[in-house]
Amino acid sequence: MLSFTGSLKVFVALEPCDMRKGFEGLTGLVAEKLKEDLRSGALFVFSNKRHTRLKVLYFDTTGLWLMTKRLEQGTFSWPRSSEIQSAKMQLTPEALTLLTDGIDLKGARMRPWYQRD
């Protein structure tokens, strides 16, 4: 289980990507499709078409991290780009943890007492 907290920004690419992409290919997607700065310290999350694999790209000021998760069965709960009307969606670090642990985020919401500014 991954655990991210604090003011970390997480951007999820809503359209599927080719999981053969490595550092350079995903870096290009961050700039071209997500319109974000890779060096901002955010996590950038990508999925394949079947939503059985994830890749997370992260720049930690000394270099790039590329994390991958492949499900043995089932799929990740993934928002549709047609529902959001954007190429990306921003998640809280806690929501990313839920997503990677198999929790369906549709209809889930943070309790009012948990909301952070």
**pLDDT averaged per 10 residues, the chain (length 117):** 73 95 97 95 95 95 94 85 77 87 73 52
At residue 112, the pLDDT reads: 59
Q: Coil, strand, or helix at residue 40?
A: helix
In sequence order, the 6+-apart residues with CB closer than 8 A to the CB of 96 are 2, 4, 10, 12, 43, 45
